[in-house]
Amino acid sequence: MATARKRTKVNWQLWLIRGASAVIGADVAWVSYWHMVKVATLAGEDRLSAHLLPLVPDALMAIALVKIASACGRVARVVWITLVTGLGLSFAANGLSAWERHSWLAVGVAMVPPAALALTVEMLRHSGRKPVRRSTRARRSAVKAPVKAPERAVGARSARVGQVATATG
């Protein structure tokens, strides 16, 4: 007996985006790590501390990236704050490392890795998801209509109106 296998459609675009993002992430991590080591050494840190210190913002960014990539809906504000803080530290360390040469060109080149990481995060966040577009009718129906108070029975109301009319008449 031959078993029929169900063929699943492979989303090559998504895999290409994820693979390219992994390459960009590895490059950013490598370049930023050595820039931060250089800044820590210039600041007077010993050799071990200078090599361990860059792991902190990189680990923060890695945690935030995993949370963002795995989130199906909204991402908590603290995750975004963590990512932005890690990116800010990376921008600062890369810029300070390059400024040692007193060249704005060197600073600009040093800013490329964290900028590329920020753009990659944004592209990854939107990859693999189809935009949800709701029609105007669906948006209107999603808005709840105001609830009306229940009306009294028509007979009881007309009887009461008749009583008022005879009492005044």
The reported pLDDT for the residue numbered 65 is 76
What percentage of the chain reaches a pLDDT higher than 70? 65
Q: Please tell me which residue, 137 or 13, carries the higher pLDDT value.
A: 13
pLDDT at position 138 over 80: no
Mean pLDDT over each residue of the chain, to the nearest integer = 75
CA distance 10 to 18: 13
The reported pLDDT for the residue numbered 161 is 53
User: Which string of b and e fits 7-20 if b means at least 16 CB within 10 Å?
Assistant: eeeeeeeeeebeee
Contacts of 41 (CB under 8 A, 6+ apart): 47, 50
The reported pLDDT for the residue numbered 78 is 82
Tokens of 138: 């669906």
The reported pLDDT for the residue numbered 8 is 65
**Which whole number is the average pLDDT over 98-110?**
84
pLDDT at position 11 over 70: yes
CA distance 48 to 34: 13
Radius of gyration of the CA atoms of the chain, in A: 31
Tokens of 5: 């296998």
Q: Token pair 């008749």 is at which residue?
A: 162
Q: Please tell me which residue, 148 or 65, carries the higher pLDDT value.
A: 65
Of the ranges 32-41, 58-67, 93-102, 129-138, which one carries the lowest mean pLDDT score?
129-138
Of the ranges 18-22, 29-33, 102-106, 134-138, which one carries the lowest mean pLDDT score?
134-138
pLDDT in tens, 28-45: 888 888 888 988 898 899
Residue among 22, 8, 7 nearest 121 (CA): 22
Tokens of 122: 């944004």
- Please tell me the pTM assigned to this model: 0.57
The reported pLDDT for the residue numbered 141 is 56
pLDDT in tens, 66-100: 777 676 667 778 888 888 888 888 888 888 888 87
